[in-house]
Amino acid sequence: MTQAFKHNRYDVIIIGARCAGAATGMLMARNGARVLIVDRETKMHDTLSTHALMRPAVTLLDQWGLLPRIKAGGTPAVRSTQFHYGAEEIVVDVKPVGAADGLYAPRRWLLDAVLRDAAVTAGAELHTGVSFVSTITDQSGRVVGAILRQPDGTHQSVYADMLIGADGRRSIVAQSVGARTIQTSAHRSATVYTYVDGVPNQGYRWYFGAGTSSGLIPTTNGAHCLFTSCTPKAFHRWFGHDAFKGAMTILSAWEPDSVADLGQRGAIEKMRRFAGAPGHIRQCAGPGWALVGDAGYFKDPATAHGITDAFLDANRIAQALWATPGDARLYQAERDCIAPVLFDVTSKIASFDWDYDTLKALHMKLSLCMKAEHEALLPELPIAA
Ligand SMILES: Cc1cc2nc3c(=O)[nH]c(=O)nc-3n(C[C@H](O)[C@H](O)[C@H](O)COP(=O)(O)OP(=O)(O)OC[C@H]3O[C@@H](n4cnc5c(N)ncnc54)[C@H](O)[C@@H]3O)c2cc1C
């Protein structure tokens, strides 16, 4: 059935309605822009993710006024992070910032829905089941709109000052606008994850061993997301036959008691598999177009930073287009201040080619990147007279 768009022309058309697209649409609409968001999915199911939000993402949710909905949706606060390097354990406390009394790891069916609702409440027009087909350009080559496919197969041309691709890692918008690839990653990891019940909330727990890593992440409704990773080469050996058993074997190096218990009770949801994919940093701004989230910048999940980057992108592009309407170059410049460093750290962690001292140094660098990202979000302190 054809869904009628309210207008033929918008300030912004956003392709993709998950954490990058919905957040961008919400901020643009709050800035008074006429926003159209479309997503090809109709039901907006869960998506591949182990949910961990880092400090900048939680601060943004707080600044956007959405944290109460994440908490009310049953997502517990994470008040510490444990790093296990072989037998060594380091615990870092999570300090409260603003109304954020910890970190959070909401399920995507909650997080993405909260963002979409907020976008619609702010005045954005959202259509699901509608796919991006191609760009419309003017004689100078500037993108001026998009051809969209309705659920009944009919195509419709819609015009805008800015087309934003928030359509994920395999972005068709990026292909359509010819976004240049600036960097690709040398390494990738492979991951399986599921959900377990009955684990006490001891914060984020990250475990690193020889050629493997694992984690327990407290998520929505009292469950923990349990993940395990290895190199793509070792994926079949660990997870090819019985993925849950493989995951339990890896985790048992650090949590033998929990594993004995979990092994008996089993997982509460099916095992999800991600065999790994190369990371990319793409050109993320051009005449009449921009890319946010994984569409412009995809990293291995080894640093659990994709959603955080999606939010940072949303925040930066909304501010850049506010300052220079129709021109997203400032957005690209700001994104590229920290992105290449974090990208390189992520690729090195994903390689599993490290000893524990090297890994600790990589984590320290990652922490400094996140500190810089976070400080940029905080209001400037008044200068004492
Ligand atoms: C195994 C795994 C674990 C992860 N764990 C974490 C973690 O713990 N923490 C973290 O921060 N990040 C994590 N990530 C990364 C995180 O999931 C992504 O960075 C994030 O989902 C990117 O959001 P996005 O909105 O850019 O894209 P997506 O979530 O991919 O959404 C893109 C949307 O675009 C839509 N779309 C695509 N093409 C079209 C089209 N042609 N027309 C219309 N719509 C279209 C899709 O339907 C989709 O809804 C993980 C990733 C993986 C693979």
Query: Please, is 253 exposed, middle or buried when counting C-beta atoms within 10 Å of its C-beta (0-12, 13-18, 19+)?
Result: middle
* CB-ligand 1 contact for 120 (6 Å cutoff): no
* 135 domain-assigned: yes
pLDDT band of residue 5 (cuts 50, 70, 90) is very high
Helix (H) or strand (E) holding 349: helix 329-350
Structure tokens at 290: 């921009």
Query: 18 C-alpha to center of ligand 1: Å?
Result: 7
Across the chain, mean pLDDT equals 94
- Give me the CATH number covering residue 284: 3.50.50.60
What pLDDT, in 10s, does the model give residues 353-367?
Answer: 999 999 999 999 999
| Sign of the torsion formed by the C-alpha atoms of 111, 115, 121 and 126 | negative
Q: Does pLDDT of 381 surpass 60?
A: no
Query: 88 C-alpha to center of ligand 1: Å?
Result: 33
Ligand 1 atom 53: residue of nearest CA: 48
Q: Treating both helix axes as pointing N-terminal to C-terminal, what angle do 55-63 and 306-323 enclose, rounded to 10 degrees?
A: 50
DSSP per position, 11-24: EEEEE--SHHHHHH
Do both 149 and 223 map to the same domain? Answer: no
Query: 62 C-alpha to center of ligand 1: Å?
Result: 21
Average pLDDT estimate for 188-198: 94
Query: 89 C-alpha to center of ligand 1: Å?
Result: 31
pLDDT band of residue 45 (cuts 50, 70, 90) is confident
The CA R_g of the chain, rounded to the nearest whole Å, is: 21
Q: Does pLDDT of 213 surpass 90?
A: yes
Q: Does pLDDT of 380 surpass 70?
A: no
Question: Which among 253, 273, 293 is the end of a domain?
Answer: 273
Ligand 1 atom 37: residue of nearest CA: 167
Query: 23 C-alpha to center of ligand 1: Å?
Result: 13
Q: Does pLDDT of 243 surpass 70?
A: yes
Average pLDDT estimate for 210-223: 95
**Per this entry, what is the length of the chain?**
385
Question: Which among 273, 289, 309 is the end of a domain?
Answer: 273
Tell which one of 26, 43, 47 to mutate to probe ligand 1, the residue whose CB is within 8 A of the most ligand atoms.
47
Structural contact between residues 291 and 143, judged by C-beta atoms closer than 8 angstroms: no
pLDDT band of residue 13 (cuts 50, 70, 90) is very high
Average pLDDT estimate for 153-157: 96
* CB-ligand 1 contact for 50 (6 Å cutoff): yes
* 294 domain-assigned: yes
Average pLDDT estimate for 340-350: 96
Query: Residue 384's pLDDT is what?
Result: 59
- What is the Cα–Cα distance from 368 to 32, expressed in whole angstroms? 35
**How many structural domains comprise the chain?**
2
Average pLDDT estimate for 81-92: 96
Query: Residue 44's pLDDT is what?
Result: 75
Average pLDDT estimate for 167-190: 96
- What is the Cα–Cα distance from 141 to 382, expressed in whole angstroms? 45
Average pLDDT estimate for 118-131: 97
Domain that holds residue 37: 9-49+108-185+277-353
Percent of the chain residues past pLDDT 90, beyond the cut: 86
Chain centroid to Cα 305, Å, comes to 6
Percent of the chain residues past pLDDT 70, beyond the cut: 98
Query: Residue 107's pLDDT is what?
Result: 96
Q: Does pLDDT of 125 surpass 90?
A: yes
Structure tokens at 163: 């087309």
- Give me the CATH number covering residue 79: 3.30.9.10
Do both 290 and 163 map to the same domain? Answer: yes
- What is the Cα–Cα distance from 227 to 209, expressed in whole angstroms? 14
* CB-ligand 1 contact for 134 (6 Å cutoff): no
Q: Which atom of ligand 1 is nearest to the CA of 172?
A: 41
* CB-ligand 1 contact for 39 (6 Å cutoff): yes
Structure tokens at 350: 């994903």
Residues paired with 91 in a beta bridge: 82
Query: 380 C-alpha to center of ligand 1: Å?
Result: 32
* CB-ligand 1 contact for 308 (6 Å cutoff): yes
Query: Residue 382's pLDDT is what?
Result: 59
* CB-ligand 1 contact for 304 (6 Å cutoff): yes
Q: Does pLDDT of 210 surpass 80?
A: yes
* 341 domain-assigned: yes
* 378 domain-assigned: no
Do both 142 and 245 map to the same domain? Answer: no
What pLDDT, in 10s, does the model give residues 258-282?
Answer: 888 887 888 899 999 999 999 999 9
Query: 239 C-alpha to center of ligand 1: Å?
Result: 23
> 64-78, 162-176, 232-246, 252-266: which has the minimum mean pLDDT?
252-266
Q: Where are the beta strands (DSSP E) in 197-316?
A: 204-209, 212-218, 224-230, 272-274, 280-282, 285-286, 289-291, 297-298
Do both 214 and 231 map to the same domain? Answer: yes
Do both 96 and 119 map to the same domain? Answer: no
Do both 233 and 264 map to the same domain? Answer: yes
